[in-house]
Structure 1
C-alpha cells in the first residue's frame, strides 16, 4: 500500500520538474519560446494548487480509493495526450490541465490514507518519510530522468514513461483498503470551489505578468485577493447558517498548523524555484544539454534521499520544530553556495555543493512539516486539511516557478540568475522565521 502511495507522490513531483531540462527541446519541436514552456510548467502546478482543496473534499463524499484511482486514470490520459502534442496548446491541455486535474484528485488521498493507516507519530513519520522522499526524489531527479529519456529517445517519451508508472500504481493500489467509508450525503460547495480556484489562478497569473505589464500585474493580484476574500466571506456565511463550506475556517484557528502550512509552501517554492532557475541557466547560458543538466541535479537528489529516509530516526531524536528550522538553515546555505560558486567557476562541479546542501535541507524538513499539519486534526477533518495542505504546497511550487521564471525571462545574461537565487534565499528566511515560531513540543507530540 505504501509503495502505491509513495509512487503516486513521486510521479506527480516528477511531472513538475522533469520539463525543466526539456525547455530547449520542447520549444524547438513545438516552435514556441522558453517563456511558453514556462507557462505550461507553471499552469500544471497552478491547476494542482487550485483544485487540491476541492479534491480533498471529494474524498469524503466518494471515498479515498475511488478518487485515487480516478485521478490516476485522468493523469495517464493527460500524459499520453502530451506525448502526442502537435503544439503548445495541446501540451498545455494534456500536461497542465488533465495531469493537473488528475494530480488534484489523487494526491489528497495519499496524505489522508497515510495519516489514517499509520496512527502513531513514529510509524507515521516513517511512512511520510518514504512518501516525501519519493516526492522529493521525483522533483530533484526529474531533471536527470527526463534528461536521459529526452537524450536517448525524445521529450515525448518522458510523458509515456509517466503513463507507464501510473499503470503500475493502479496495479499496486488494488491492495489499498479505505479505512473510512465514503459518505454520499456530504454536500459539496461548488461556489466555494470556483471562487478558490479563480482566486489562486489570478494571483499566480499576476506574478507571471510582472515582466510584461506592471499595471496588469497589479490588476490581477488585486482581483485575485478580492476573489479569495469573497471565498472566505462565503465560507464564513455558510458556517454561520449551519451549511458545510468547501473549507472550514476552523482549520485556520490552529497556530501550529498555520505555521506548518507556511513552511510547506516555502519549502516547495524553494525546491521548484531552484530547480527551474538552475536548469534554465545551465541550458540557456552555459549551453548544457538535457542529460548534462540532469546529471548536475543528482547532487540534490542524493542529499534529499539521504535525509528523507532518515525521517523516522530523526523524529525519535529531535522535535519537529528543530528539524524544520535546521532544514531551512541548510537550504539557505545551499542557495548562497550556488550563487558564490557559480559566479567564481565555470565548471559544472561548482553547482554540486550547493545542490547537495539544498537537497539535505529539504529532506530534513519536508516530513516534519507535513506531520505537524496532518497530526493537528482528527480523522473527520483529514479530507479538508489534506486538500488544504497539498494546495498550499503546490501553490508554493507554482510561486517558485513563476517568481524564478519571471526574473530569468527578464534577462538571463544580465545577472538574472543571481537575482532569482537571492530572491529564493530571502523567501527561505521567511520560512525559517515561521519555523522558529512553531510551538516548542516534545518529539512525539
Structure 2
C-alpha cells in the first residue's frame, strides 16, 4: 500500500505545480468560446449597415457559429482522445484566431459568414479539449469539482462580458474589434498551451471512425439547421421538417454504426452504461432550454417590454451573472460533501421559484421587483446545477475517452439550447399574436415571454424528476 501511494504521489507531483496554469488556460478558452456566442449580437446592426447584409443573411453571422460549434463537438472530442488534447487545443485556438482575423477584416457578407463558420469549428475543437485537460490534471474528486466550478463560472463571465462589451466596443471602436480582439488573446493562449501542456499524453493508437464522424456530424448539423429555420418557417414546412427528419435519420444510422459495426467507434455506446454519463447528458439537454430562457428571453423582456437599450439590458443581467459565478464556485466546493442530487434538486427549486415569479411580469413591472429578484433566484439554480451536471456527465470514464465524453456533454447542452430557443420562440410568438388584438404591443409581447418563463419552470420540474435517476455518489 505504501509503495502504491508513494508512486501515485510521485506521478501526480509534476502536474501539481502546473495545475493552476492549466486550469487558467482551460477557463480562458471556455471564456472565449462563450464570449463569441454573445458579443456579436449587439454589433449586428453596424455589421449589416457596413457590409450590406440582408436580414436573412445577417442571422447567419450568429447561426453559422452556433451550427458548426454544436455540430462538430463530438468529432472534436474524439479527435482530442486520438491525437491528444494538447494538439487539439492548440489547433482549435489557431483556427479560432485566424478565423477571427478574417472576420475582423471582412469586406463582404460571404467572408464574414465563412469566418464565423470557421470560428465555430475552432470552438468545437477547443471546448472538449479543455474538459479532457481538466480530467487529466485534476484526478482527486475535490480538486476536480472545484476545477469544474471554475470552468463553468468562466462561461458565465464570457456571457456577461459579451453582453456588455459588445456594445462598448462597437460604440467606442468598431464592430471589427469584436473579432480582432480574439487574435492577440488567442496568440497568448497558444503559447501558454504549448508550454503548460508539454509532456502530457499525445493521444492513443487508433484511427478515426470516418463513417461515424460523417453520420454523427452531418446528423447534428442537419438537425440544428432545421431547428434554426423554424424561426422563419412553420415546423411542418419543408425547410424545417426536411433537415430535422434527415438529421434524426442520420443520427439513428450513427447510433447503429457505432453500436454494431465500428471497430473503433467515435462514440462508444458502452459509455452510456455509466449512469452518470447517460442521465447527466439527458439533464444537460433539458438544462440548455433553461439557460436560453434565462439569458436570451429575459434580455428580450428587458428590451421589448421594459424599454431597456441593449447595453442597459446587458448591465441589467450583470447581477445575475455575478451570482451564477459565485454560486458555481461554491457548488463545486460542496459537491464532494453533499453528492449530486441535493445540489440539482436545490437548483431545480430555484428554477421553479424564479421562473414562476418572472412569469408574472408585464409592461408596468419594475426592474428590481419584477426582474432582478427572480433572475437572481434562477442564477442560483444555474450555479448549483450546471457545474454539477458537467462533473457527473464526465466522471467515471477512462482517461482515453475524456475528450469524447467532454464533447458529448457540451453537445447535449448546445443542442438543448438550440431546440429550446426554437420551441420557446415559437410559443412566445404564438401567444403574443393571440394577445395582440386587445393589448398594447408591450403587453402582448409580455404575455408571450410569460409563457416562455412558465415553460422554463416546467423544465426545472423535469430536471428535478430526472435527477432522481442520478447515481448516489458517496460523500468525500
Q: Give the TM-score, by structure 2 length.
A: 0.84
Contact persistence 1:144–1:297 (CA under 8 A): no
**Which segment drifts farther, 35-44 or 356-365?**
35-44
Q: What's the CA shift string for 1:318-357, capped at 9, x where partnerless?
A: 1112112212221343223333235541547742222222
Contact persistence 2:51–2:107 (CA under 8 A): yes
2:73 aligned with 1:55: no
Shift of 1:180: 2.1
Give the counterpart of 2:151 among 95, 108, 131.
131
Shift of 1:75: 0.5
Q: SS of the residue aligned with 2:308? A: coil
Q: What's the CA shift string for 1:184-216, capped at 9, x where partnerless?
A: x41101221111122112222332333413232
Contact persistence 1:342–1:351 (CA under 8 A): no
Shift of 1:286: 4.7
Give the counterpart of 2:248 among 225, 228, 233.
225
Give the counterpart of 1:186 among 188, 206, 217.
206
2:439 aligned with 1:419: no
User: For residue 259 of structure 1, what is the aligned residue in structure 2?
Assistant: 279
2:247 aligned with 1:215: no
Whole-angstrom distance in 2 between the partners of 1:420 and 1:53: 30
Give the counterpart of 1:373 among 376, 385, 393.
393
Contact persistence 1:321–1:436 (CA under 8 A): yes
Q: SS of the residue aligned with 1:295? A: helix
Shift of 1:123: 0.5
Shift of 1:32: 4.3
Q: How many residues align?
A: 439
Shift of 1:133: 0.9
User: For residue 100 of structure 1, what is the aligned residue in structure 2?
Assistant: 120
Q: What's the CA shift string for 1:370-394, capped at 9, x where partnerless?
A: 1112212121221221221222222
Larger radius of gyration: 2
Whole-angstrom distance in 1 between the partners of 2:46 and 2:455: 28
Give the counterpart of 1:236 among 244, 254, 259.
259
Specify whether residues 251 and 288 from structure 1 end up closer, same or farther in structure 2 by C-alpha distance, changes over 3 A only. Answer: same
Shift of 1:267: 2.3
Specify whether residues 245 and 421 from structure 1 end up closer, same or farther in structure 2 by C-alpha distance, changes over 3 A only. Answer: same
Whole-angstrom distance in 2 between the partners of 1:206 and 1:35: 15
Whole-angstrom distance in 1 between the partners of 2:215 and 2:65: 19
User: For residue 70 of structure 1, what is the aligned residue in structure 2?
Assistant: 91
Give the counterpart of 1:313 among 309, 328, 333.
333
Whole-angstrom distance in 2 between the partners of 1:140 and 1:267: 18
User: For residue 154 of structure 1, what is the aligned residue in structure 2?
Assistant: 174
Shift of 1:37: 4.4
User: For residue 248 of structure 1, what is the aligned residue in structure 2?
Assistant: 268
Whole-angstrom distance in 2 between the partners of 1:102 and 1:5: 14
Whole-angstrom distance in 2 between the partners of 1:354 and 1:393: 23
Contact persistence 1:150–1:290 (CA under 8 A): no
Give the counterpart of 1:341 among 328, 336, 361.
361
User: For residue 430 of structure 1, what is the aligned residue in structure 2?
Assistant: 462
Contact persistence 2:87–2:202 (CA under 8 A): no
User: For residue 277 of structure 1, what is the aligned residue in structure 2?
Assistant: 297
What are the ranges of 5 or more consecutive residues in structure 2 without an aligned counterpart?
A: 1-21, 434-440
Contact persistence 2:341–2:468 (CA under 8 A): yes
Q: Give the TM-score, by structure 1 length.
A: 0.90
Please tell me the root mean square deviation across aligned C-alpha atoms, in Å.
Answer: 2.5
Shift of 1:141: 3.5
Specify whether residues 316 and 236 from structure 1 end up closer, same or farther in structure 2 by C-alpha distance, changes over 3 A only. Answer: closer
User: For residue 17 of structure 2, what is the aligned residue in structure 1?
Assistant: none
Specify whether residues 354 and 171 from structure 1 end up closer, same or farther in structure 2 by C-alpha distance, changes over 3 A only. Answer: farther
Q: SS of the residue aligned with 1:107? A: helix
Whole-angstrom distance in 2 between the partners of 1:236 and 1:246: 10
**Which segment drifts farther, 80-89 or 2-11?**
80-89
Higher relative contact order (CA 8 A, sep 6+): 1
Specify whether residues 382 and 130 from structure 1 end up closer, same or farther in structure 2 by C-alpha distance, changes over 3 A only. Answer: same
2:412 aligned with 1:392: yes
Whole-angstrom distance in 1 between the partners of 2:75 and 2:133: 17
Contact persistence 2:305–2:363 (CA under 8 A): no
